[in-house]
Structure 1
Amino acid sequence: MLSFRITLLLVVLSASFALAQPASFPSTDEVQQLKQDALRILGTILHDGSESDRLGAVNALVRNGGQEVVPLLTQALLNDRAPFVRRAAAEGLAKYRSAEAVSALRQTALDDEIPSIRWASGVALVLWSLDERAIVVRLLQESSTLAAAAVSLQDSFNLQKFPTALWLLAQSAFANAFSDRDTYNVVERAAMLKALAHMNTVSVTPLLRQALNALEEDPFVRGAAAFALGVLDVKEAGPDLIATLDSDLEALQLAAARALGRLGDTRAIAPLTKLLKEARVAEVRAAAATALASFGTATLSSLAQSLQTDASPSVRQAALQSLATLGGPEATRSVLAFIGSGYLQNCDPNACSNLALDTLVALAKLGQGALAVLLVSATLNSVRDSLPFLFLFAESNLVRALSEVGRVQPELFNSLLNDSSPFVRALGVSSLSNVQSCLARDTFIHIITPKEDTFVRRAALEGLSPCAVYDDITLFVSYLTDRDRRVRVAGLSALAQHGDTRAVAPLRSTMNVESVATRIDAADASLTYAVRIMKLNALLNCSSARRTPDRVLACLER
């Protein structure tokens, strides 16, 4: 299978060279020099830059560096004044099997004054080798670092990086520490419960139910227990969770409603419906509306009523999303009735903008794309005066909604791209890029002209960047020092991912401009470019002597 993949890669590479314009690539020495220039720039910033710039430099090194970045990351880990920079360096050093890195990580795991950095260093060590587990055991025995571990591992993203071979140690430590209210605060104890849930610790179910039902317990902790019961899919906890819906503690109601939505216990339909109608806090009613979508069409009428009558736009939005999830003729009729009620036309745009956007998404999901296109036009016309404000603060939400509509009604893009407003055209370009990606390449190139509005041109550059070919380099070079960082990043990314020899000089010159932020971005791109070209050169060299795929693999591994 591996041999087939290598053969396929070689075929694709050969085809790409045949179809693309002629390109040349720099020598290994040239690439190494560019790489050294980038490391020098980032090293200077690590020494002299602001805290945010130093963090940016560390992140660039971690993303793209090889063993040669270890001294710089080690320096940042041991000497930087900012805890978040040291923590980022510790997490990044986990990638490198280096005696220098291991020595530094051991030192900070045992001696750093910040518990979260000690924990990050310990995790980095065991990611390198489970032989370092003794340090993690020690950290889990100390209250400050155990608390830091809980706060970290409650995040499922961080947990994915923690070796499963050590889960049992963490599970035992959290379960035993949870009852110690004198040592650990409510945030830390709640984090323990969430981490236990993400580690699928079914054995703590009695502990979770006890915490949920303990009236003297902090509501935040009880809410974490409800969350954990939902994640663990503890069906027998259904009655306990239903009972907490009658609590006057909003945080607990919120967590219980979400957990019941996960469990799908039909006994919860009536109490959740009551919560949707009667809860004082809009966020709780919205959670009930979201949870009710888990129970199928039996909840349609309650959701439709909430969509039509609730005083809060956010609750109506949750009901709308649930109806769109359920789908079907009745849900569609409910959404159309809501649109016909005139609520959106009379609602303050500041309060109802997200509801209006999700209405468009719901129509697209329910097979009413043509109506959604009409509503897009009407909505944009009604907020013409506010478009600069909306574009500034809600661009991503607008693009998301327009992309969903355009996905089912592609004619929307023609309307957006020909609009008189540059803000609408920019939204059209971004949503077109989301839906059609490189199929819209010619459109992007046509738009990228000096006469075009800056926002529209930026959207086109961002759309074209992942689709760039060698001969686009000249186009992107002119934007490498643009005042708009998104424009700069689009240009630098195009050179890094798709540039040939012609990218070297612009990357090097951009690393030497006055702006520190631009130098970091350029150094980051230069490292990406160097890694890519070196891999490409290695592949071409290994495949140049008519080797079999197995021999190509052996060559690459050397």
Structure 2
Amino acid sequence: MGIFDIFTPDIQKMRDAGDVRGLAKALGDSNLEIARKAAAALVGLPSSSAVIPLIRSLSSPDKDIRRLSTAALGATGDPHALPAVLEATEDGDLGVRLEAVKALAKFHDPEANLLITRFTADSNLDIRMAAVSALGQTGDPTSIEPLLHLLVDPHYGIREVSAYALDSLGWVPANDRDKAFYFIAKREWRGLFNLQSVAVKVLVWALKDEYYAVRQGAASTLGKLKDLRAVRALVSALSDEESSVRMEVVSALGEIGDLRTVPILVRVLDDDYIGVRMTAASVLDGMGWKPSTENDLILYLLAKERWMDIAVIGKRSTQVLAKRLNDPNYSTRDEVGKILQRLGEHAQEPMLSALKNPDPDVRSRAVWILGNIRTRQAVGPIIRILSDDNPACREEAVRALGKIGDPRAIPFLNRVLGREILLAPVAIRALGQIAHPASVKALMPYLGSADREIRLHTILALGENGDKKISGAIAHAVKDSDPEVRVAAITVISKFPSNEVYALIRAALEDVHPDVRYAALLAISTWQADDTIPLMVRRLEDEDQKICRIAAQALNRRRWQPASLPERRNYLIAMGQWRDLERLDYVNKELQKKESDLACQIVPRGSIMDPVPPLSGSPGERVDGDPTRPEGAGITGEPDSLLALIRTLGDQKEMQALRWRSAEGLGGLGDKRGVEPLIVALFDPDSELRWRAAFSLGLLHDERAIEPLATALRSDDQLTVRVRVAEALGQFKKPVVIRPLIHSLGDVHPDVRDMAIRSLGEIGTESAINAILTGLLDADETVRESVIDTLLKLGAMAGRSLVKNLKNRNPEVKKGVLTVFMRMKPAISFRILVSELENGDWEVRQMVAAALDSLDWQPGDPFQRAIYLFAQRDWRALEAQGKTAEGILIRGTADSDPAIRRASVELLGLIGDRRTIPSLTEVMYDENREVRLSSIKTLLKRQGGESSRLISTLKRNVK
């Protein structure tokens, strides 16, 4: 505290003590900060003794003091303060005016209330909101009338505040109309629904509200009311600018079910927003609509996202698909692009037209498609895109010209190289794809570029060209200053072996950078010359273990035999053959210190390391030893081996390879004491150690590891780790691991999702199978295939879930399920599929019949043939079945599809007897007019008796 701070008023202390007089005095302090704090403190201490100082502070030049003082005056409620507050309503600062309007309500004065009412029409929305809220605090019944008028204000905020203000005044709606506007103001849609037909007119009014949430709620409620009076207004709302509103409107029209709206809903299939299109398709399905034109069919399939079905249509779908290249939904644009690419030359014409589209994204996608089609007719138009204003279009044009590989593009790509540095790598790659001497000539100058990116891409491009003459030009790059450039040069020149190339790559084996040595070793390992063997033997001692392993594998392929004990030792270490390494006397003598831990490790049975035959005297032979010695005896069987493995695993300073082997060894030993150290290793900074620890935890099957494994599956940033964790969880084969595996089905990488599917298959419970079935909707084809493979392995165990999912509304799931059935053993497939011929869903029945056809199934009896023909809708053949078909046709009169109900009625009229009359009579009340008429006609054809009397009494009541 400074020496002068003792004279500073303590505002907080005065406020806590309720010292109104002291605070009033502090209002006039020359320090504005103190004055503001005093005014703020007085707001919470309403007292008439502060009125005069507060009124004086209203003339302060500081707007914050005036604002806080106005609020404090309102808190006092003192009538003497009212004139000053009235004057503050005309202050130049909006904040002061707002506080003044709020304060007026606290005086409970008729004149103040009248002024508040006037402010509800102010030009400023904040003032209006404050005035409306203030009216609710006046407690004056006369405020109700103006608030009622505000329930229909154009602004939703005013309406909402008015409704709550009326609540504060204890207002109760006098009639249903007032209730309807009140519920809309508060957006209480359930209350509006309870008003039924009275609410329709008000809801139609709300469909034009400026706030999209009100329009959306109004549309939804109108749909639930199912009142035909709302149809016209809902149809008009289909042009709403908000996609969410349009989606609710379409859904509402579907709930009302007026068939007159079908042509309008068909047009909605072409809506810009995917949600609206999908809703429209679903609604049309519910109305029994079927596409009558090919254009409608394509739009319907687009809305349903049935991409493969669209591709089947072929060339005729290209024009409609081209319009969707600028769809707001990215996944739709992506899928449309893939289909157009798959259609090949059929898509050429619309894509050439799309190159003139004003949307750069459409132009870019069109170029991409043309490039993948690889049509030479597109070269000229794509070359013109190289001058496009949009950089993404120019880049895609460069890529496309490279894919097409037409030499006419070479001078233009060369020009791009000279003028756009950002496109240089792409242009270089494109030139490399054009196999022509002119492209090689254009690329050569860039081998000496100062930019390492340019040098790198030039070497890779020349390598793609495949011209032998380039090896000499690239050779000097093996000594480039950048290691990545050196790697690229080695990779390219190794394709063109010569003495010079051999010498360069041999020298690269001694490079300081491991990636360069690795590339050189890979190149040499493909050559069969005997003088390469010593070079690979030398690499067995490389400091990089990856290089050691590649050298050992190459030597193994060449059937090399170690010439000395050190060579054998190096080979065994590189190949990870720890059990053979243990048997060497050299290990027992030389590795008794630190490397004894290395010797005690074994590659566990089922190891994730590549299987390599054990080496002793020569590759492929075992060391002669004691034949009575049991498998795994020796160091690995001693109690100290477990402790040694645990110690090595936990030592952060230990060699990485030793820690990796320790993680594997703990899993192979099967001792539960290894679980805790492995759980710790599961979160080690070394990703390689993490996935090996996960694998070993899976081998140990200890439930303590489940939660840590689940955490790693959710949070680890390395793909390999997540894949191995998913695999490890599957080895527990317990329902407790289903939840984390289901969570991983949403992983960004398909490899993780694929392994999760396979692991769920190891569990095999119904919930696991249901989760596996969701993979049928996966975007990745490999994952979908894994789902089918896994379900096939589960066989009959999956039967129940598969049958359930035959009724799934998603066609992709149905198709996947049927694919599984068709690949199962015929006996299983036939039994399950035949039972589903009587499914209540006509689409399922039709797909099941098609599946049975593909399996060359033949009905075993007349009844099976009848239900099979019914599923196929083969009415002529079904008629020939006679009385056998009666039962299935009676059930058909209650089918969800009106076309099936009608056909069933007509066939019963041809083959049915008196027993069918009750069913036909019941259909007279069918919701579908055509079905009702068919029933009447059928009954009228019958002679006399009960049916004639029934018709005479009922036909006049049936429209």
State the TM-score bracket (shorter-chain normalisation): 0.5 to 0.7
Asked if 1:35 is matched to 2:35, the reply is: no
Q: Give distance in 1, aligned partners of 2:476 and 2:842.
A: 65
In structure 2, the residue matched to 1:219 is 483
Contact 1:230 1:262 (8 Å CA) reproduced:
no
Percent of residue pairs identical: 13
Q: Give distance in 1, aligned partners of 2:491 and 2:374.
A: 38
In structure 2, the residue matched to 1:189 is 455
CA deviation digits over 1:401-431, x for unaligned, max 9? 79999xxxxxx98x65556421687799999
Structure of greater Rg? 2
Q: Give distance in 2, aligned partners of 1:212 and 1:151.
A: 20
In structure 2, the residue matched to 1:151 is 429
CA deviation digits over 1:219-248, x for unaligned, max 9? 332232122233445565344334334444
Contact 2:697 2:705 (8 Å CA) reproduced:
no
Q: Give distance in 1, aligned partners of 2:702 and 2:497.
A: 44
Spell out the pairing of 1:65-84 with structure 2 (5 A cutoff). 67=346, 71=350, 75=354, 78-81=357-360
Asked if 1:384 is matched to 2:706, the reply is: yes
Contact 1:261 1:291 (8 Å CA) reproduced:
yes
Question: How far off its partner does 1:119 sit?
Answer: 1.8
In structure 2, the residue matched to 1:208 is 474
Contact 2:351 2:369 (8 Å CA) reproduced:
no
Question: How far off its partner does 1:378 sit?
Answer: 0.9
**Matching residue's letter, 2:486:** R
Spell out the pairing of 1:28-427 with structure 2 (5 A cutoff). 33-38=296-301, 46-47=325-326, 49=328, 54-63=333-342, 67=346, 71=350, 75=354, 78-81=357-360, 87-94=364-371, 104-109=381-386, 111=388, 114=391, 115-123=394-402, 133-140=407-414, 142-143=416-417, 147-151=425-429, 166-174=435-443, 176-181=444-449, 185-213=451-479, 217-233=481-497, 236-263=500-527, 265-274=532-541, 276-277=542-543, 284-296=544-556, 298=562, 301-305=569-573, 307=576, 324=610, 326-328=612-614, 342=645, 343-344=662-663, 345=666, 346=677, 348-351=681-684, 354=688, 376-378=698-700, 381=703, 383-392=705-714, 393=716, 397=720, 417-418=733-734, 420-422=736-738
Bigger RCO of structures 1 and 2 (CA < 8 A, at least 6 apart): 1
Contact 1:465 1:491 (8 Å CA) reproduced:
no
SS of residue matched to 1:178: helix
In proportion to residue count, which structure has more helix?
1
Q: Give distance in 2, aligned partners of 1:456 and 1:141.
A: 53
Question: How far off its partner does 1:54 sit?
Answer: 4.0
SS of residue matched to 1:478: coil
CA deviation digits over 1:478-519, x for unaligned, max 9? 374xxxxxxx9x63874999999949x99xxxxxxxxxxxxx
Q: Give distance in 2, aligned partners of 1:496 and 1:61.
A: 28
Question: How far off its partner does 1:384 sit?
Answer: 1.4
> In 2 relative to 1, CA 259–141 (structure 1 residues): closer, same or farther, beyond 3 Å?
farther
> In 2 relative to 1, CA 43–391 (structure 1 residues): closer, same or farther, beyond 3 Å?
farther
The alignment's TM-score, normalised by the length of structure 2, stands at: 0.34
> In 2 relative to 1, CA 29–478 (structure 1 residues): closer, same or farther, beyond 3 Å?
same
**Matching residue's letter, 2:466:** N
Q: 1:475 aligns with which of 805, 812, 820?
A: 805
Contact 1:70 1:100 (8 Å CA) reproduced:
no
SS of residue matched to 2:447: coil
Gaps of 5+ in 1: 1-25, 127-131, 278-283, 361-371, 406-411, 481-487, 507-558
Q: Give distance in 1, aligned partners of 2:597 and 2:355.
A: 52
**Matching residue's letter, 1:90:** V
In structure 2, the residue matched to 1:491 is 813
Q: Give distance in 2, aligned partners of 1:495 and 1:190.
A: 49
Q: Give distance in 2, aligned partners of 1:71 and 1:169.
A: 32
Q: Give distance in 2, aligned partners of 1:418 and 1:285.
A: 37
Q: Give distance in 2, aligned partners of 1:92 and 1:391.
A: 37
Q: Give distance in 1, aligned partners of 2:458 and 2:597.
A: 37
> In 2 relative to 1, CA 150–262 (structure 1 residues): closer, same or farther, beyond 3 Å?
farther
SS of residue matched to 2:540: helix
Q: Give distance in 2, aligned partners of 1:379 and 1:239.
A: 53
* Larger CA deviation: 139-148 vs 95-104: 95-104
Q: Give distance in 1, aligned partners of 2:483 and 2:415.
A: 27
**Matching residue's letter, 1:386:** P
Q: Give distance in 1, aligned partners of 2:346 and 2:717.
A: 41
Question: How far off its partner does 1:474 sit?
Answer: 7.5
**Matching residue's letter, 1:186:** R
Q: Give distance in 2, aligned partners of 1:495 and 1:77.
A: 44
Q: Give distance in 1, aligned partners of 2:717 and 2:439.
A: 41
Contact 1:186 1:221 (8 Å CA) reproduced:
yes
Contact 2:456 2:484 (8 Å CA) reproduced:
yes
Contact 2:735 2:765 (8 Å CA) reproduced:
no
Question: How far off its partner does 1:173 sit?
Answer: 2.9
In structure 2, the residue matched to 1:485 is none
**Matching residue's letter, 1:378:** L
> In 2 relative to 1, CA 454–95 (structure 1 residues): closer, same or farther, beyond 3 Å?
same
Question: How far off its partner does 1:181 sit?
Answer: 1.3
* Larger CA deviation: 139-148 vs 186-195: 139-148
The alignment's TM-score, normalised by the length of structure 1, stands at: 0.54
> In 2 relative to 1, CA 125–226 (structure 1 residues): closer, same or farther, beyond 3 Å?
closer
CA RMSD of aligned residues (A): 6.0
Gaps of 5+ in 2: 1-288, 306-320, 579-594, 624-631, 646-661, 667-676, 778-783, 793-798, 823-840, 848-959
Question: How far off its partner does 1:391 sit?
Answer: 3.3
Contact 1:105 1:124 (8 Å CA) reproduced:
no
